[in-house]
Amino acid sequence: MIALENATKRYGRQTVVDDVSLELGGEGVTALIGPNGAGKSTLFGLVGRLVTPDAGRIVVDGMDVATTPSHRLATVLAVLRQDNHVAARLTVHDLVEFGRFPHSRGRLTVHDREHIERAISYLELEAYRHRFLDELSGGQRQRAFIAMVLAQDTKYVLLDEPLNNLDLRHMTEIMRLVRQLADELGKRVVTVLHDINFAATYADRIVAMRDGAVVADAPAREVMRPEVLAAVYDTAVDVREIDGRPVALYYG
Amino acid sequence: MLTDPATAASGASAATAAPPPSGRGLRSRLGAGRAPWGRPVVRLAALASAVLALVATYLFTDVPGSLAFALEIRSLSVAAMLVVATSVGVSTVVFHTITQNRILTPAIMGFDAFYLLISTAIVFVAGSATFLAADALTLWLVQVVVMVAFSVTLFTWLFGGKRRSIHLMLLVGIVLGTFFRAFTEWMQRMLDPLDFQVLSDAMFASLTRPDELLLALTAGLVVLGCAGVVPLLRTLDVLTLGEPAAVGLGVDHRRVVMVLFGVVSVMVAASTALVGPILFFGLIVANLAYSYAGSFRHVWTLPTAVLIGMVCLLGGQLVLDRVFDFGGTLSTIIEFAGGLFFLYLVLRKGAR
């Protein structure tokens, strides 16, 4: 499990993550929701050792993030950030190969190559294998990055806003994929989402944050209630039942 | 009529899957390494042969007197060029990867400015006679130690601490560099014209007739620097993905960047102290290497950058010697020719 124990992060006088104790990474998909500035990305940064906590600690499967060698954590935990701008010209294959770096340190074995092939074919990227990343559409590029994360072969997968800048079709495609990662491959996925309807449809558990604290943490259906969502987002949200599924209406 | 979304989607992906017949597709296939010219090793070999040809031209043609004497002097120059090309090529490419930015050179940290400041300060305080009479080794040592100390201080202050911001470090580097330059200029204005004459010799890189001992020492430091980079070649590749992704893949970003930055400082300081301000062509060399190498991997881009540096230096020196009869500076020639070629490359590729 990924356990945050009284984790606190401050930027100047502003407390972004405020004394959060939380266990993430149970089976299935966990969605992390909340308004902008709620501390979701910082929380991911804490777990992904990009941000050092001012207080408290983070433990992944018994390993303290602050003291465990980075490459050991990278074999258990993969993080995909929201902005993946790469300055160099890489092909899809090059990118997916990087996923094996924690295991191979760059010297690929036959075993590593199998993982790479499996990841590429799982994401149906065979046709794009030798394409450069800057020649791909947003959806294809996101799939290539997910393939990299998959090649990393970790128990936990953290996705920070994987639906950013994607159209309807690609959003659905990525979320189905996220579900598959959990159901077929047994990955424990934690993902930051802005669209709460996607969270309700594809996640098993929803953790809602606001002002650096966890304000709701429950099975998806229980969080999808007008009073809970209104408290999280500070805006009126109507929740209707459509075909037996809760759908949030927040378009005004 | 409504089409079945699933069929429409698979149709669309099949259409995009087919390789487009345009030049873009052709280029990417070349980059993927099918055609022999697309393979980095072939490209590197071709470049190495070009360098060897240039070395031979430089060594064996236009010999005024004894060939043995010319060879002795010229091979020293070639050795100096190799040392400088290695330190500039490697340090610039590594710097680009660390900073995730391809339009910077380590010069932004004020290396060149600092070198000029030290030289000017010596002439200003002690006079040109002292500067000329000073033991070359002492002068070199002072320059190297002060430059390395400066950059390491700047680095540990702004990157080693809690702040850990490369951009802040660059910004402070730029500001300090500007300050040094202004201060240097002020001192130069106050100088005796004769002193200034002596000093202006030190203001441009000169690769002919290097001091043998200093060349050997500099070469030693550059080799040491390369030895520090080689085990990190694959880690450097991962760093091209940016800090967040590299950390996610288990790179100890802070430690790796510290080591690489140390290597860059030592190499740049040693070669600047040997031949004068040299970083001017790093930008051209590194960017030419990226488009020529045919791979983003540092195993290929680093040697390519070094060899392109050799081409620039040798070619520039040949033009300077044979065409302009030593009337000018190497930097003018390299920057003019290299800059034009670089512009051509950028414009040809369009706004990539």
**Tens digits of per-residue pLDDT, B247-263?**
888 888 888 988 998 89
Rounded mean pLDDT, B220-244: 91
Cβ distance of A106 and B241 shorter than 8 Å: no
B30 touches chain A (CB under 8 A): no
CA distance B53 to B116: 34
Which residue is listed with tokens 């790469």? Answer: A86
What residues in A contact B250, CB-CB < 8 Å? 69-75, 101-102
Determine the pLDDT at residue B310.
93
% pLDDT > 70, chain B: 86
**How does pLDDT run across A45-100, given as a tens digit for each residue?**
899 888 888 898 999 998 998 888 988 899 999 998 877 777 778 899 999 999 99
**Collapsing DSSP states into helix, strand and coil, what is residue B192?**
coil
pLDDT of B163: 62
B29 near A CB under 8 A: yes
Q: How far apart are CA A197 and CA A40, in angstroms?
A: 18
State how far residue A248 is from chain B, nearest Cα, in angstroms.
25
Angle at B207 between CA B203 and CA B213, to 5 degrees: 105
Between CA A183 and CA A29 the distance in angstroms is 9
* Residue B248 contacts A where some CB pair is shorter than 8 Å: yes
Q: Which domains are present in chain B?
A: 38-349 (1.10.3470.10)
Looking at the predicted structure, is the pLDDT value of residue B54 above 60? yes
Closest-CA residue of A relative to B5 is A169
* Position A124 confidence tier, pLDDT thresholds 50, 70, 90: confident
Number of A–B residue contacts, CB under 8 Å: 90
Partner-chain contact A79 B244, CB within 8 Å: yes
Residues facing residue A3 across a β-bridge: A23, A59
pLDDT of residue A30: 93
B29: chain A residues, CB-CB within 8 Å: 130
Is B234–A106 a contact, with Cβ atoms under 8 angstroms apart?
yes
pLDDT at B162: 64
Nearest to A70 among B17, B252, B296 (CB): B252
In order of start, what are the domains of chain A with their CATH numbers? 2-76+155-249 (3.40.50.300), 89-153 (no CATH)
Secondary structure string (H, E, C) spanning A4-61:
EEEEEEEECCEEEEEEEEEEECCCCEEEEECCCCCCHHHHHHHHCCCCCCCEEEEEEC
Asked if residue B321 lies in contact with residue B73, where contact means CB atoms within 8 angstroms, the answer is: no
At residue B140 the predicted structure's pLDDT band, cuts being 50, 70 and 90, is: confident
Q: What is the mean pLDDT of residues A196-224?
A: 90
Task: Please say if the pLDDT value at position B219 is more than 70.
Answer: yes
pLDDT at B24: 43
Residue-level pLDDT at B28 = 43
Give the C-alpha separation, A80 to A84, whole Å. Answer: 8
B349 and chain A: CB distance < 8 Å anywhere?
no
Query: Would an 8 Å CB–CB cutoff place B231 in contact with chain A?
Result: no
Nearest CA in chain B to A66: B252
Predicted confidence (pLDDT) per residue in B260-319, tens digit: 988 998 998 888 888 887 777 888 899 889 888 888 899 999 999 999 999 988 988 888
Which residue from A71, A150, A141, A88 is spatially nearest to A117, judged by alpha carbons?
A150
Q: Give alpha helix (H) positions in A87-204.
A: 92-98, 101-104, 110-122, 138-151, 168-183, 196-202
Give the C-alpha separation, A189 to A187, whole Å: 6
**Total-model pTM:** 0.84
Whether the Cβ atoms of residue B76 and residue B235 lie closer than 8 Å to each other? no
- Cα A10 to its chain centre, rounded Å, is 22
> How far away is chain B from the Cα of A72, in angstroms, using its nearest Cα?
7
Q: How far apart are CA A167 and CA B349, in angstroms?
A: 29
CA distance B166 to chain A (A): 14
Structure tokens at B311: 């081409």
pLDDT surpassing 90 at residue B203: no
Nearest to A197 by CA among A142, A237, A252, A157: A237
Residue B341 banded pLDDT, cuts 50, 70, 90: confident
Q: Is the pLDDT of residue B3 over 50?
A: no
